[in-house]
Amino acid sequence: MELVKPEIGLIFWTSLSFLILLFILGKFAWKPILGALTERELFIEDSLNKAEAAKEEMESLVKKNDDLLKQARAERDLILQEAKKIKDQMIADAKLTAAKEGARMIEQAKLEINNQKAIAMADIKNQVSTLSLDIAEKVLRKQFEDHKKQEELVGELLKEVTLN
């Protein structure tokens, strides 16, 4: 039964050696090793997180770009539509204005024509009267030697004529 009887010497040396080993390894091995391990793991985790964040950012950027593109397209469509509308409006407006102007001009022309006609008529009347006077003078001169009596007659006659 010597096998299961612990010897005091071995217990003593084992305790002493183990505690010294624990102390030395704890101070000079485990501390730096575990520290380095943790540091490296943190670094790796951090890098992974960063990569993940970068990926997410990339994705969001692409999405943003897409959105921007879509928005720009929509805006362009809107602008084009607006422009078309404005163009149509302008054409319609122009047409309307032109028609109005035309009508106004025609009206004015008519007025002018009427005026001119009136002026021409008055002129014609004058000329006709002068001409008729001349003609009558010449006729009457031939017929009437006596100037005085003739002119009196003509004057009376002219008074009777009413112009239309």
Count Cβ atoms within 10 A of the Cβ of residue 136 and give its class: 0-12 exposed, 13-18 middle, 19 or more buried: middle
Cα-based distances in Å from 85 to 28, 82, 91, 92 = 84, 5, 10, 10
Query: Which helix (H) or strand (E) is 73 found in, with range?
Result: helix 31-143
- 51 touches another protein (CB under 8 A): no
The span from the CA of 58 to the CA of 127, in Å, is: 98
Instruction: State the DSSP string of 13-29.
Output: HHHHHHHHHHHHHIIII
The CB-of-25 to another protein minimum distance in angstroms stands at 5
20/131 with CB nearer another protein: 20
CB atoms under 10 Å from CB of 84, counted, come to: 10
- 8 touches another protein (CB under 8 A): yes
- 48 touches another protein (CB under 8 A): no
- 50 touches another protein (CB under 8 A): no
* Interface region with another protein, contact rule CB under 8 A, candidates 20-28, 56-64, 74-82, 122-130: 20-28
* Interface region with another protein, contact rule CB under 8 A, candidates 6-14, 70-78, 89-97, 148-156: 6-14
The CB-of-44 to another protein minimum distance in angstroms stands at 9
- 24 touches another protein (CB under 8 A): yes
Amino acid at 11: I
- 45 touches another protein (CB under 8 A): no
Task: Figure out which of the listed residues 10, 143, 155, 162 binds another protein, where binding follows CB under 8 A.
Answer: 10
43/126 with CB nearer another protein: 43
Contacts of 144 (CB under 8 A, 6+ apart): 150, 153
The span from the CA of 133 to the CA of 131, in Å, is: 5
Binding site for another protein (CB under 8 A): 2-15, 17-18, 20-22, 24-26, 28-34, 36-37, 39-40, 43
